[in-house]
Chain A
Amino acid sequence: MTAEATTPVAPAPVATSDGVAVRIISPRRLMWWKFRKHKLAVASAIFLILAYLATIFAGFVAPYDPASRSRNLYAPPQGINFVDETGQFHLQPFVYGWKMTRDLKTLSPVYVADTTQKFPLRLFVQGEPYKLFGLIDADRHLFGVDEGYFHLAGTDHFGRDLFTRLVYGAQISLSVGIISVFLSLVLGLLIGGISGLYGGWIDNFIQRLIEAIIAIPTIPLWLGLAAAVPRDWPPLYQYFAILVVLSLISWTSTARVARGRFLALREQDFVTAARVYGASQTRIIAKHLVPNLMSYVIVTLTLAIPGIIIGETALSFLGVGLKVPTVSWGVLLQESQKVQIIQFYPWLWIGPAACVVSVVLAFNFVGDGARDAADPFSR
């Protein structure tokens, strides 16, 4: 209670009259403390930070080039072994090579572990050259094998390493979430703010617009909008077009929250006090309203990212979002529209699906933790 009463006063510790030192804790620090108590949210946040780091250093993390092909087509994931076929333990993990035979009925390749071929796994191996950040020439990879091959998540129909493609796909899939959410943040704050600030028929009009957008089933509307993206556009243009399409719908939740908080805060005593002191409208908005609004908006945004990531995945999966040669998790899932792929080469969809689900799950946990932290009345 004391902390609550004293927070808005001064940023330095003060001694009260009865001699007890009171530390002044900023709301931001208070939020961080509350968030830290939410173990699952913290673990998820760390996971997400690692995931985003992996996309920045994609060339280093991925053992191969996303386009390089190997002779192993449709090879399943290679298991990492510590114990060899004679039961002997090795501290150095290794993988077995594949021996390919063909199923005589279906002619599909069947892979059996070849115990005569052992490829020891190493960290920081020299491998295919890549450009770090698209600038610096490098050929060291986080892990890999000196000779032979190592496909942690299997290979696709061209023999391309799926793990590598998942890492490069994360660059697109994860950035879509963040950038789209920033676009919706700008749109939502702007439109929601205008709605709350001006009220009257403008507010009424914007509220009806938001209601209408919410009533339209998202996937069909996304499909309809994505149809307008010309197919012959270069991948980068398509990427931005899909970003815009995704944010054109998701701004509504931010706008609602922004407007609602705006209306509630406008009536608060501290805003009236600021007005009495003669603060200008701009100063009140920038100094008093927006900081109070931000925590709620950030929570809404964190909870909006999973929807956008799923949206991109769904659109690309259906073949109307991003397209090859762009690599995203949704594009990787496109293959799984064929029932045969789902049935015979399950790693091709389990890989990208696991990526999408774990990232979405992590964002949900972080958003949940952030919501509890931002709520001053939660215990």
Chain B
Amino acid sequence: MLNYAIRRSGQMLVTVFVISVIAFVVIQLPPGDFVNSYLATLSGGNIVTQDAIIALRSQFGLDENIVVQYWRWFTNLLQGNMGISFQYQRTVLDLLGERLPLTLAITIPTAIFVYLVAIPIGIYSAVRQYSPTDYLLSFVGFIFLAIPNFLIAIIAIYIGYRYFGGSVGGLFSPEYELAPWSLGKVLNMLQNMSLAILIIGTGGVAATMRVMRGMLLDELSQAYVETARAKGLSEWRLIMKYPVRVAVSPVLSTIGFVLPALISGTEITATVLNIPTTGPLLLNAVRSQDMFLAASIIFVLSILTVIGTFISDLLLVWADPRIKL
């Protein structure tokens, strides 16, 4: 176990390194270096001395070659210095500290929601294969797989307006927007967050449900299931105790794909629903080519998925002794 954890963390460090290179490429792609864009965004009121420009350039090593620049950026990054956002005139770390908790507060419950809902539905579909309910669930699953998150968000806004006469979106409803913290405000926030979780989760549920169904169907046709049934085990216990446990572990290991997809979904849905996660921040950064901010957000989000996958891998090894160490 310890051995596996060490080997796996080594692998993780390599992935983090590659991601940092990709993030750096994202910073470098737009034409012109960042001090120029920085100066261009400063309003007339700010006077920048030549010394300050030189200091900025040397801090990020802009006069040196690209490898040195990358190294400066990467070591700065490791020390928590992610550069400055031109647009907000604040450090990137500051901005991330403000927005990131909400991204996590939405993504993590969504992941739990996806697996909690998808696994039972997948089990039901597999056990009652070709029943009307199975067909219905598969059909609905296919449809939700085809509707991108942001369209579901748009539909939610429309339904909210049309049938409930309320506005959908924002972290708080208008009446709580400026109110001081209270129990009502917290409940209101949770309500808005759960709507976002529902919207972001649908695609994940649809996908995971199908994987679970397929995996369990493979297991159900195995001979050991027949043996257990012949020995007179009750159907419920038989399915829950053996095939489901075998089928669940590859389903849970899809988290490496599900987590990035959920974060993608969170970012775009939050933009439509106007929830202040890192999503709207990233979009603003991208629109104004505020590349340090954009790349830092991409980097941090990716690191979060890498860590999430790492933790779930360790849990899987711990839970399923058949996985090779």
Taking CB atoms, residues of chain B closer than 8 Å to A218 are 260-261, 264
Within 8 A of A (CB), among B265-323: 265, 267-268, 271-272, 282-283, 285-287, 289, 291, 294-295, 297-298, 301-302, 305-306, 309
In the bound complex, CA of A248 to CA of B157 (Å):
33
Taking CB atoms, residues of chain B closer than 8 Å to A306 are 146
On whether A346 and B264 interact (CB within 8 A), knowing A217-B301, A320-B283, A357-B146, the answer reads: no
B162 on the A face (CB < 8 A): yes
In the bound complex, CA of A218 to CA of B268 (Å):
11
Cβ contacts A to B, 10 pairs, < 8 Å: A208-B18, A214-B257, A215-B15, A217-B302, A227-B29, A227-B285, A337-B272, A339-B161, A364-B142, A365-B142
Whose C-beta in chain A lies nearest to the C-beta of B306?
A215
Taking CB atoms, residues of chain B closer than 8 Å to A336 are 154
A219 on the B face (CB < 8 A): yes
B263 on the A face (CB < 8 A): yes
A313 on the B face (CB < 8 A): yes
Select B282's contact among A215, A223, A339, beta carbons within 8 Å. A223
For this complex, into which size category does the number of interface residues on chain B fall? 35 or more
Chain B's nearest CB lies how many Å from the CB of A255? 15
Q: Mark A175-210, 1 if CB is under 8 A from B, else 0.
A: 000000000000000000000000000000000110
In the bound complex, CA of A100 to CA of B162 (Å):
22
In the bound complex, CA of A215 to CA of B267 (Å):
15
A278 on the B face (CB < 8 A): no
Taking CB atoms, residues of chain A closer than 8 Å to B18 are 208-209, 211-212
Q: Mark A350-377, 1 if CB is under 8 A from B, else 0.
A: 0001001110110011000000000000
Whose C-beta in chain B lies nearest to the C-beta of A319?
B287
Q: Are A220 and B309 in contact (CB under 8 A)?
A: no
Select B154's contact among A214, A215, A342, beta carbons within 8 Å. A342
Binding site for B on A (CB under 8 A): 208-209, 211-221, 223-228, 230, 306, 310, 313-314, 317-320, 336-337, 339, 342-343, 346, 349, 353, 356-358, 360-361, 364-365
Taking CB atoms, residues of chain B closer than 8 Å to A217 are 260-261, 263-264, 267, 298, 301-302, 305
Q: Are A212 and B162 in contact (CB under 8 A)?
A: no
6 A-B pairs besides A212-B19, A224-B286, A225-B26 with CB distance below 8 A are A212-B18, A219-B267, A224-B23, A320-B283, A353-B154, A356-B151
Taking CB atoms, residues of chain B closer than 8 Å to A320 are 283, 286-287
* A-B interface pairs (CB < 8 A), number: 134
Taking CB atoms, residues of chain A closer than 8 Å to B148 are 310, 313-314, 356
Q: Are B157 and A342 in contact (CB under 8 A)?
A: yes
Closest 4 CB pairs of A and B: A228-B29, A212-B18, A219-B264, A224-B26
Q: Are A343 and B158 in contact (CB under 8 A)?
A: yes
* Residue in B15, B256, B297 with the greatest tally of chain A CB atoms within 10 Å: B15
B115 on the A face (CB < 8 A): no
Whose C-beta in chain A lies nearest to the C-beta of B289?
A227
Q: Are B309 and A215 in contact (CB under 8 A)?
A: yes
Binding site for A on B (CB under 8 A): 11, 14-15, 18-19, 22-23, 26, 29-31, 142-143, 145-148, 150-151, 154-155, 157-158, 161-162, 167, 169, 256-257, 260-261, 263-265, 267-268, 271-272, 282-283, 285-287, 289, 291, 294-295, 297-298, 301-302, 305-306, 309
Q: Are B294 and A361 in contact (CB under 8 A)?
A: no
Chain A's nearest CB lies how many Å from the CB of B291? 7
Chain B's nearest CB lies how many Å from the CB of A219? 4
Select B15's contact among A212, A360, A365, beta carbons within 8 Å. A212
In the bound complex, CA of A360 to CA of B263 (Å):
21
* Residue in B147, B148, B257, B291 with the greatest tally of chain A CB atoms within 10 Å: B148
In the bound complex, CA of A223 to CA of B297 (Å):
11
Q: Are A216 and B22 in contact (CB under 8 A)?
A: yes
Q: Are A223 and B154 in contact (CB under 8 A)?
A: no
In the bound complex, CA of A320 to CA of B294 (Å):
13
Chain B's nearest CB lies how many Å from the CB of A102? 21
